[in-house]
Structure 1
Amino acid sequence: MKRLRLLRGTTPDHAHRPPLRYFFAELLSFADPVVRRLRPELSVAKADHPRVVILFPGFATGPNRMRYLATQLERAGHKVKRWGLGHNLGPTPETLDLLSARICEVCERYGQKVVLIGWSLGGVVAREVAKINPDCVAKVITMGSPFSHSPYSNNIWRPYQLVAGHTVDAPPISTEISAKPPVETVAFWSPRDGVISRRAACGEPGERDRAVALRCSHLMFPNSPDCIKALLDELQGDGNRAAS
């Protein structure tokens, strides 16, 4: 009954939610595995300086949902690692401790700082871990991650509360979600995102170093050719992309 009560509530007036037409358009992403077979293979150039990357999956998803992205990054020569926690059901002090140990272990093993790439809630978690271990993190790249504005600025806060077991404005970790980690932080966002508000995913200038606008749905961030190309640019160290 307690979990069911978390489905109740009213979206505050100050929250900003994506239009419902974009939310329902997210269903088109389920056809992507078929569409992908019909389009030419993505052109991927070899990286001049291969990086070590850890992928953080989105809410209620696991590493398999980011397998295509991992394959494309590996084609460029990057070393891509899983986050090691299975499905993402939300941050807790215990998960942050486990991820901190994971990042430090990968950093020590490969002798270089790691790049954290987080999709949706995974990006929020990646930012929090980078705050704890800045000496092990080279950069954090978020994809449609709700780190700014209001925790209600999305279309799934009720399902999130049901699964996570807490309200979105009272997470089980003590932190200021919008505070920028002390490392380079890049926010990918999309005006076509039907799940997370653009205001929440783009953030304010003081909350991230740069914001990159893409044109894909929320569920397509890990598979969108444009998003993958933008990630490859970031890993290559291309700082000439337009920032907002």
Structure 2
Amino acid sequence: MVADGRPPPAAGRLRPPSLGLLLAEARGIFELNASILLSPLLLRAPRGDGHPVLTLPGFLASDLSMAPMRRYLGELGYAAEAWRMGRNVGGVARLRSQLLDRLAEIHAAASRKVSIVGWSLGGVYARDLALQAPEMVRAVVTLGSPFANDVRATNATRLYEALTGETAEAYPELRAAISGDLPVPTTSIYSRADGVVNWQTCRLRPSDTAENIEIYLASHIGLGVNPAALWAVADRLGQAEGQFKQFDRSGPFAIAYAPPEQAQS
């Protein structure tokens, strides 16, 4: 047994975050309050060009959870869109066609490519949409999304499997594709202090159009409202279509970001 009373993981397996980190998730309310207090500073982020941004909520969450994100992006000049599919009760394979229909609807209405911001499980959906319809997707930003490595290393895995009837490792070919390189610019935002998802499952393979951004001390339930995360999302979406450069950590929330070497090691 290990220090927190749980058995060690099987060889090659990652462990879910500790009980201490899970209990510390309550700090997410402070991250929301910080964003409200720092809203004048957050609104200094690069202005949007009006292109649509589809926001996808995490497991068991609804569009309400992404309302602060949509409001912020709307104030910056984006056409922030909800997923309009009720509560996210999961099922990566089950929801593929519905999500693709929603993406196509937004794309057709705007006659422009759509950026996708997905929180936790919503980020897994976002990556899959980019694989299904790269011609409709401008960029993908994920927040604490477990798409890589040992995707069972979360504190929500058992509940996900019980509610969906789908194991976390079902559809291995689809899972492998989602964890691989995407055909569009991609950013993964995560925190080593995440109490729900093991941060190592959130890291993509860095490239000229893909990057990891680690935020110090952010919680899982607070990532979508954390001021440093919001700034990073806005900065990434503010890039011109077809262009990509690595995130500049010298902005107003510089102290909150791990350096690139640490974030990608």
TM-score range, shorter chain: 0.7 to 0.9
- Find the residue that maps to 1:219 and give its secondary structure: coil
- Listed one character per residue, the Cα deviations across residues 26-59 of structure 1 (whole Å, up to 9, x for unaligned) are 02224666x4597343431361523310000000
Identical residues among aligned pairs (%) = 26
- Find the residue that maps to 1:109 and give its secondary structure: helix
For 2:24 and 2:200, the matched residues in 1 are separated by 19
- Structure 2 contact 31–226 (Cα < 8 Å) conserved: no
Match of 2:116 in 1: 116
Matched, 1:138 2:138: yes
For 1:108 and 1:152, the matched residues in 2 are separated by 36
- Structure 1 contact 42–225 (Cα < 8 Å) conserved: no
- Find the residue that maps to 2:55 and give its secondary structure: strand
For 2:30 and 2:247, the matched residues in 1 are separated by 30
Match of 1:4 in 2: none
- Listed one character per residue, the Cα deviations across residues 1-25 of structure 1 (whole Å, up to 9, x for unaligned) are xxxxxxxxx9544223323321110
Match of 2:155 in 1: 155
Matched, 1:179 2:180: yes
Match of 1:233 in 2: 235
Match of 2:192 in 1: 191
Scaled by the length of structure 1, the TM-score of the pair is: 0.86
For 1:32 and 1:124, the matched residues in 2 are separated by 23
Match of 1:21 in 2: 20
For 1:28 and 1:12, the matched residues in 2 are separated by 31
Q: CA 1:170/1:38 → structure 2, altered by over 3 Å: closer, same or farther?
A: closer
Q: CA 1:17/1:93 → structure 2, altered by over 3 Å: closer, same or farther?
A: closer
Instruction: Identify the range of structure 1 (162-171 vs 150-159) with the bigger mean alpha-carbon deviation.
Output: 162-171
For 1:214 and 1:20, the matched residues in 2 are separated by 20
For 2:133 and 2:87, the matched residues in 1 are separated by 22
Partner AA of 1:191 in structure 2? R
Q: What stretches of structure 2 of length at least 5 have no aligned partner?
A: 1-7, 249-259
Matched, 1:62 2:62: yes
For 2:83 and 2:27, the matched residues in 1 are separated by 27
- Structure 2 contact 56–122 (Cα < 8 Å) conserved: yes
State the aligned residue count.
234
Q: CA 1:41/1:210 → structure 2, altered by over 3 Å: closer, same or farther?
A: closer
For 2:108 and 2:205, the matched residues in 1 are separated by 33
- Find the residue that maps to 2:152 and give its secondary structure: coil
For 2:161 and 2:195, the matched residues in 1 are separated by 18
Cα shift at 1:145: 0.3
Scaled by the length of structure 2, the TM-score of the pair is: 0.79
Q: CA 1:210/1:240 → structure 2, altered by over 3 Å: closer, same or farther?
A: closer
Cα shift at 1:149: 0.8
- Structure 1 contact 12–152 (Cα < 8 Å) conserved: no
- Listed one character per residue, the Cα deviations across residues 210-235 of structure 1 (whole Å, up to 9, x for unaligned) are 11111211000111111101111001
For 2:187 and 2:15, the matched residues in 1 are separated by 21
